[in-house]
Amino acid sequence: MEFVYLIFLPMVVALIIPLLFKKLNGVHTGWFVLFVPLVLFVYYVGFIRSIRDGGHAVSELQWIPSLGISFVSYLDGLSLLFTLLITGIGALVVLYSIFYLDKSREKLNHFYVYLLLFMSAMLGVVQSDNMISLYLFWELTSISSFLLIGYWNTRDRSRFGALKSMMITVFGGLMMLGGFVLLGIMGDTFSIRELIASSASFIGHEYFTLALILILLGAFTKSAQFPFYIWLPDAMEAPTPVSAYLHSATMVKAGLYLVARFTPIFAVSEVWIWLVTGIGLLTLFWGSFFAVKQTDLKAILAFSTVSQLGLIMSLLGAGAIAFHSDDALFRFATFAAIFHLINHATFKGSLFMIAGIVDHETGTRDIRKLGGLMSIMPVSFTVAFIGSMSMAGLPPFNGFLSKEMFLQSMLALRHFELFNFATWGMLFPVVAWIASVFTFIYSFYFVFKTFGGKGKKKPLPNTPHEAPFGMLISPVILASLVVGIFFIPNVIGKYFVKPAVMAIQPELYSHPSDVAVHVAAWHGFASPELWMTIAIVGVGAILYLTLAKWQKLYDIQPSYLSLNALYDATMLFGEKGMNQLSRFYMTGLIRTYLLYMFAFIIALTTATLFIKEAFVVDMDSFSALNAYGLMTAVILIIAVCMVVLAKTRLAAIIALGAVGYSVALFFVIFKAPDLALTQLVIETVSVALFLLAFKHLPALRNHGQTNRNKVANLIIAAGVGVTVALVALSAHSQKLLPSISHYYKETVATEAGGGNIVNVILVDYRGFDTLFEIAVLAIAGIGVLGMIRLRLARKERADENK
């Protein structure tokens, strides 16, 4: 089966939903949608065995083969892992949304259309081997996430968050496209597999570093790395199922996927290693530090996502060092990155769902108003506790295993000799440890400030109670995976992590057995990461218990000194600047717009002609101009002047007709009777139409035209005339290919069965062109008819009022 078509399955179902919505008779739309990710998940599970040993599968759908662009679905260990996360967690999110979203109050047809579009886009991103199709799906994720984040479009914050996410991620996407184009130029292909195979041939290319930076901009903006993370907290205005999906398995992971996929190409560069590792660690620290400041449950989780994404990004950077060093610890870093990516998807998905449950059942997400929910919502508390402890990196939860691996990888950076890591690498484990302390704090802060202690005296908007069973199914499944993975980490490593590592580092491994990583919870008392963890717990516990005393330190920072304030100022300045600029050229006068367009055409065309030395006049093949031609030319010039200088509408119409008939005479003189006949017919019809509408034509007035305007019009008109003449002369004098007119002459009668060559060209050879011209005229006619009817209706109402 050509599984490339499955990428579009959610998109096809999305088209059906609006038609099906009204016929479901009160049944929640989600039950119909649920089968899509379930079917896809079950289907892709079938690839695990074949891809586990380093295999891959390819399916192709041709798109623009002449440009080397096609939809190529490439499944290896990395893309299959992401595909399973997208579809598996997607199914749990849809199930959760069935019970979370009220079918009587929400526009579910809109919600599920957006969600399925987003699912298709993400599948396309992680499976595309062609960079152009990858970019297409990449931007589709930005558009569909914009719709999802702004789903509650009547809320100002929802619209603001949606716009903010789109502005930042689309900017990164455009930068990434530039990097893709440069890579395509360097490698003479848009295939990622072919680029990886031939990367050694263009590593030293002058575009290499620029392409690297542009692609990283795309990855950093999508995965909310510093300083682009600011869109992610504002995206919390989306419904909780959307937040759970975006943060655990999809959009924010796309940037991580991009870095992992292009690591085999760029890992040789010092710039890549420093940027990916350094920005990742900075993001980890920044996100964990500011998560403790937040008071909204989803905001806490948003900043925690920022920090966790930074952690995975730094591990991918450290893993790239394996291309320069034989030290197994650096290969181990890539394994840790993929392992934590899976772990993060499980505990973060469950935590977002619990945040939604708390909001759903209590009516608030403000952590200052919550507390004492442990006994009221025991199942929700248990899931929140499991997810938070995993996020904090404590046993017996899967986050502990990958956090230990992270600390071990950061410690290894001290021993890397190249690229000044031996000097600056000492800072990496320090920053990692400090960030881990704050990770511990915000994890405890989230769960115990919400569920622990005593309830607040002020009543909550809703009387709190445990969520319905259906809403708990998805978070309970994810929490079970959090615990289960801790006890079977090497099963996950064998079937999912090792094949993905092989895809990221194909030059280093030929078989999964070469990825010699055995995950264990205990490495003995001599392991430094154990003592780092003990210190994290000790210091983190002290800081958490004294949180009330030092949390006010966050208030010292003025609001205007922040990246959000910078974004707001930039947008405001840009809006004002664009308004002023648009007022300058958007005058509302068609003649002004025509001046701008014609001036641009003149400048661009003439500059191209002379810069490229394309203006050449060869008069050898010119037809001789006889007395009749000269006389017709004089008549034509006089007629044009009369059109411009006419004082009455009738004189202008007569002069315009003289211009058309003069052109027809030229066709006769130069022995083109078919063209002459066509021109005469068109000119006659045009003059007749003008005369029929004579009464309704506007009077010939200056319409505010000054002498200065008339001079400008004269210059532009003369410039257009000269430019067109230059292009015609140049095109006639530099024919690179034989004229197609000979083909028309030979086939107009035998192939098309016509006698008038012009009519045959218009109807047969250029049939679609003529068809579209007719369609345009028909649309214009419908518009005119609508305006006439509107005017008549207004006149009738005015008469009735009298």
pLDDT 10s digits, 486-515 = 999 999 998 999 999 988 988 777 666 667
pLDDT score at 703:
57
Mean pLDDT confidence for 454-464: 82
- The kind and range of the H/E element at 524 are none
Q: Where do the structural domains in the chain lie, given as residue ranges?
A: 286-512, 585-745
What residues contact residue 311 under an 8 Å CB cut-off, 6+ apart?
A: 280, 284, 340, 406, 435
Q: At residue 237, does pLDDT exceed 90?
A: no
Cα torsion 461, 466, 470, 473 to 10°: value is 120
Phi and psi angles of residue 463, each rounded to the nearest 5 degrees, phi first: -70, 115
Rounded to 10 degrees, the C-alpha dihedral 475/478/480/484 comes to -170
pLDDT of residue 103: 75
Mean pLDDT across the stretch 545-568? 84
For residue 597, the tally of other CB atoms under 10 A from its CB is 11
pLDDT confidence band for 701 (50 / 70 / 90)? low
| Structural tokens at position 562 | 């922040």
| 519 vs 476, higher pLDDT | 476
H/E stretch holding 4:
none
3-state SS record for 716-736: HHHHHHHHHHHHHHHHHHCCC
% pLDDT > 70, the chain: 96
Task: Give the percent of the chain with pLDDT over 90.
Answer: 46
519 CB-near residues (< 8 Å, 6+ apart): 339, 401, 405, 489, 490, 493
Give the pLDDT mean for 579-604: 83
Question: CA nearest 345: which of 7, 83, 42, 144?
Answer: 83
Alpha-carbon gap, residue 359 to 156, rounded angstroms: 19
395 CB burial (10 A radius; 0-12, 13-18, 19+): middle
pLDDT band of residue 622 (cuts 50, 70, 90) is confident
Q: Does the structure show a pLDDT above 80 at 78?
A: yes
pLDDT of 261 reads: 94
Q: Which residue is it, tokens 């045009």?
A: 686
On average, the pLDDT of the chain sits at: 87
Q: Where does 199-269 have alpha helices with state H?
A: 208-222, 231-234, 240-248, 251-266
Lowest mean pLDDT, pick from 492-501, 580-589, 724-733: 580-589
**Interatomic CA distance for residues 375 and 353, integer angstroms:** 19
Tell me how long the chain is. Answer: 802
The CA distances from residue 355 to 95, 229, 387, 479, 590, in Å, are 16, 21, 11, 14, 55
Output phi, psi for 70, to 5 deg: -155, 165
Q: Please count the other Cβ atoms lying within 10 Å of the Cβ belonging to residue 635.
A: 15
Chain-centroid distance, C-alpha 8: 17
Question: What does the alpha-carbon distance between residue 345 and residue 351 come to, in Å, rounded to a whole number?
Answer: 10
Query: Is residue 714's pLDDT more than 80?
Result: yes
Q: What is the Cα–Cα distance from 346 to 489, expressed in whole angstroms?
A: 14
* Preceding omega of 227 cis (within 30 degrees of 0): yes
What would the 3-class secondary structure string for 561-577 be? CCHHHHHHHHHHHHHHH
Provide the 3-class DSSP secondary structure of residue 74.
Answer: strand
pLDDT at residue 461, as a whole number: 85
Q: What is the mean pLDDT of residues 522-540?
A: 89
pLDDT at 266: 93
Reference 30, options 88, 111, 86; nearest CA is: 111
Confidence band of 648 (pLDDT split at 50, 70, 90): confident
pLDDT score of 387:
95
Give every CB contact of residue 209 below 8 A, 6+ residues apart in sequence: 269, 271
Q: Does 328 have pLDDT greater than 70?
A: no
Give 585-745's CATH code, choosing from 1.20.120, 1.10.1740, 1.10.3470, 1.10.287.
Answer: 1.20.120
Burial of residue 432, with CB atoms counted within 10 A of its CB: 0-12 exposed, 13-18 middle, 19 or more buried: buried
> pLDDT of 366-384, one tens digit each?
998 998 899 899 999 999 9
Q: Tell me the C-alpha distance between 437 and 533, whole Å.
A: 9
* Whether the predicted pLDDT of 318 surpasses 80: yes
> Per mean pLDDT, which range of 83-92, 164-173, 204-213, 584-593 is the poorest?
584-593
Higher pLDDT among residues 43 and 773, named by residue = 43
d(CA 500, CA 341): 11
- Residue range 161-187: mean pLDDT, rounded: 93
Angle CA 97–99–103, to nearest 5 = 85
What pLDDT score does 704 carry? 59
Output 175 or 645, whichever has higher pLDDT.
Answer: 175
User: Within a 13 Å sphere around the CA of 377, how many CA atoms are in the beta-carbon half?
Assistant: 32
Cα gap 94→372, rounded to integer Å:
30
Confidence of residue 616 (pLDDT cuts 50, 70, 90): confident
Q: How far apart are CA 679 and CA 669, in angstroms?
A: 14
Cα-Cα end-to-end distance for the chain: 73
Predicted pLDDT of residue 414: 78
What is the per-residue pLDDT for 28?
Answer: 83
CA-based diameter of the chain, in Å?
A: 108
Residue 565 near residue 682, CB atoms below 8 Å: no
Whether the pLDDT of residue 418 is over 90: the answer is no
Cα 471–Cα 476–Cα 481 angle in degrees, nearest 5: 145
pLDDT of residue 312: 95
| pLDDT digit string, tens, across residues 752-785 | 777 777 778 877 887 788 888 889 989 998 988 8
Residue 132: its pLDDT value, please?
Answer: 93
Give the confidence band of 420 by pLDDT, cuts at 50, 70, 90: low
Taking residue 151's Cβ as centre, other Cβ atoms within 10 Å add up to 22
pLDDT band at 219; cut points 50, 70, 90: very high
* Banded pLDDT at 263 (limits 50, 70, 90): very high
Contact residues for 85 (Cβ-Cβ < 8 A; gap 6+): 248, 249, 250, 253, 342, 345
Q: Does the structure show a pLDDT above 70 at 702?
A: no
Among 45, 73, 48, CA closest to 58: 73
Specify the pLDDT at position 329: 67
Q: Tell me: pLDDT of 735 over 80.
A: no
